[in-house]
Amino acid sequence: MARYIPFPARMMLTPVSPDKIDDFVGVELSPLGFKRTRPRRWVQTATPYIRNMFEFQAIKGGQYSARWGFSLDFVPCLSGGRLRWKRTVTTARFDLCIDPIDESGRVPEWCSFSRFLEACEGRMAPAAKMATRAAKLDYSRVKSIADVVGIFQQRAAMRFRRFSLKNYVQTDLAWGLALIAVGQAAEGERHLRLFCDQFSIDRQDKMIRHAISAAKEATVPQAV
């Protein structure tokens, strides 16, 4: 259980250095080819179209908590009301996010720690090890775009205590384009229209059309 710190003492707390966090994460992920792209975020190019992502996100309550998932190069990112490409390691963004808080409804102790040194002694290294271990299990399940579709389908059937797939901006856009990439055009189109309707995006937007073409080009044989 997190240590309670009286209010006056909080004024004296020392923030955890992002470099310290990344030292622990790097021990687990650097050998796999992950690159640190910003403080507390790591990305690996898994296949020509899929990038694995891991991050310790800052959350309310003065904590860091792990999340991980996948970025698809042929899926643009909605940012500031505009669609933008994210086709590099440094620009990768979550298209499919796996956050343990969504399933538990609270911040799990095994993958989180305080943002302050005085309250997280001995917690960073174990949290980094356990969170990356859980992430690696999900990464091992994804060798192709079809596998990403499978995880979307699996998580759509799950019951969550916090956010479900529908709460993530990228879900229908990424799911729809991934379906198109694996030849399920009709179902993919349904998800694309849901995304466009929800965020007032023109279905004939140039970026949407280019993304569909890119998704179709991604149907080349995937790594096994």
User: Distances in Å between the alpha carbon of 117 and those of 22, 32, 36?
Assistant: 15, 28, 22
Query: Which string of DSSP letters, residue by residue, matches 151-194?
Result: HHHHHHTS--SS--GGGSTTHHHHHHHHHHHTT-HHHHHHHHHH
Closest CA to 25 of 14, 36, 38: 36
Q: What is the pLDDT of residues 95-115, one digit of tens each?
A: 999 999 999 999 999 999 999
Closest CA to 94 of 161, 193, 24, 165: 165
**pLDDT surpassing 80 at residue 154:** yes
> What residue ranges do the domains of the chain occupy?
7-217
What's the N-to-C CA distance of the chain in angstroms?
42
Residue 51 has a pLDDT of 98
Q: What is the pLDDT of residues 50-84, one digit of tens each?
A: 999 999 999 998 999 999 999 999 999 999 989 99
- Per the confidence metrics, is the pTM higher than 0.85? yes
Bridge partners of 184? none
**pLDDT surpassing 50 at residue 224:** no
Amino acid found at 74: F
